[in-house]
Amino acid sequence: MGMGQKAGSPQYFNEMYDGAAVRPPYQGLEAWARDMPVDLRTLKQGEAEALFRRIGITFAVYGEGGDPDRLIPFDMFPRVFAADEWRKLDRGVKQRARALNAFLADVYGRGEIIRAGRVPAHLVYRNEAYEKAVVGIKPPKGVYSHIVGIDLVRTGPGEFFVLEDNCRTPSGVSYMLENREIMMRMFPQLFRENRIAPVETYPALLRRTLSSVAPAKCDTPPRVVILTPGHYNSAYYEHSFLADMMGVELVEAQDLFVEGDFVWMRTTEGPQRVDVIYRRIDDAFIDPLCFRPDSMLGVPGLMNVYRSGGVALASAPGAGVADDKAIYTFVPEMIRFYLGEEPVLQNVPTWQCARPDDCAHVIANLADLVVKEVHGSGGYGMLVGPRSTKEQIAAFADKIREKPWNYIAQPTLALSTCPTFVEEGVAPRHVDLRPYCLVGEEVQLVPGGLTRVALTEGSLVVNSSQGGGVKDTWVLAE
């Protein structure tokens, strides 16, 4: 089968082909894919898998759980964006990250957007991700979410939609970096022939971002650490990878302690003060004196130091209220309210089942919609209407009637497709994209991100737990 659309298939935007013509960003790849013998392709695919195994990238992307030793499939056909396409995404993602941070500063402060009637109070203050313990605390430089992962889908040449925002601890960035590393190692000629913007500056930018939010009490070059729950965590590989790449210590709770107004790290040379903690542990577990008393993963007294300005936490506790799926519907309003701008990137139209009219519409049209749990992730707890049986739809309707506030619904978007190597050659498969926006003294975005691909023909679910794979994402240099 060729790389174009299959006869009779729905009209999805094909990122490589416009009819029979190759779209400009992909012109450097057509001959490469066409002329690659099957045995060479099989050899290269095996080489890529061996590299991934040797490096140790075996974890479920986006913290989806699952077998920690399972390899996520890597597709060698890169996804390509032209420089002007990327400019729009760059502008839109940065705008969204600024608005989300402004919202967090507001809802843990005066709550102006709620007073103005733009966001319902109960969605914020009764949200399980809203942390009352941090109300009134102003984090260093006013930044709450330092790494914002924005999940995007494409439906046409200039049409991009935001599927969801990830303000807590978006994972998967190690894939963005390793996909590139492996592609450069396997196909160096492609990088000589195409001018591709680099992503390998990400670890240095991340370190600079984290250092830029050191607390006021820090009067020496800031010491940054990554706090991990430990090697049983599904994203542990990424934690250790980023610590190595940034040249900082990877620590677990027992490596840190609180004394006086500061957090200290135990080292063979005695205690050393820690200024910035990039924590990959959920709010509930970071300090047993403030949150869950049974947590073995946290540092007792950490929140007192944070409150007094002795340490910066990235992301700030409570940042999760901004990436809740019910709050998501109000992000365009946040952009207008805080920035006085129109959104560059649109939301997917969304119905909130908590609203009786929306709920009635959703139940009447379940066969055409995608329904998600408000706090769900990883492709679980959802219904893809067009791919469900009448029995599944009826059972899900009962769930919505029982807990309407727990669900939102969206139309099934015609996700774009990207050429992907499959057994019979090259075929279109659906993709999404997660760029990683860094927020410190500056707001920065590396030109690229993590592209996930639905490897099953016709599937729109790209999550690795549901059989999805990953690709290198190219942005052509200006």
The residue extents of the domains of the chain are 95-136+196-339, 349-411
* Cα 19 to Cα 5: distance, rounded to the nearest angstrom: 8
The pLDDT value recorded for residue 153 is 95
Show Cβ contacts of residue 394 under 8 Å, excluding neighbours closer than 6 positions.
Answer: none
The pLDDT value recorded for residue 63 is 44
The pLDDT value recorded for residue 457 is 85
Strands 450-454 and 425-434: antiparallel
Contact (CB, 8 A) for 334 and 163: no
The pLDDT value recorded for residue 376 is 62
* Cα 178 to Cα 435: distance, rounded to the nearest angstrom: 15
What single-letter amino acid sits at 341? Answer: E
The pLDDT value recorded for residue 1 is 31
Q: Which CATH number fits domain 95-136+196-339: 3.30.420.10, 3.40.50.11290, 1.10.10.410, 3.40.50.720?
A: 3.40.50.11290
The structure tokens listed for 351 are: 């119905």
The structure tokens listed for 220 are: 């020496």
Residue 148, beta-bridge partner list: 437
* Cα 455 to Cα 468: distance, rounded to the nearest angstrom: 6
Cβ of 310: how many Cβ atoms within 10 Å? 21
Instruction: Tell me the DSSP string of 12-30.
Output: PPBSSEETTEEPGGGTTTH
* Cα 401 to Cα 223: distance, rounded to the nearest angstrom: 51
Q: The whole model's pTM is what?
A: 0.91
What is the SS3 assignment for 9? coil
Residue 150, beta-bridge partner list: 165
The pLDDT value recorded for residue 7 is 33
Residue 272, beta-bridge partner list: 265
Q: Which residues of the chain have pLDDT under 70?
A: 1-10, 56-70, 376-380, 464-467
The pLDDT value recorded for residue 222 is 98
Cα-based torsion angle of the residue sequence 259, 262, 268, 270 in order, rounded to the nearest 10 degrees: -70
Architecture of domain 349-411: 2-Layer Sandwich (3.30)
DSSP state of 316: P
pLDDT in tens, 274-320: 999 999 999 999 999 999 998 888 999 999 999 999 999 999 999 99
The pLDDT value recorded for residue 64 is 46
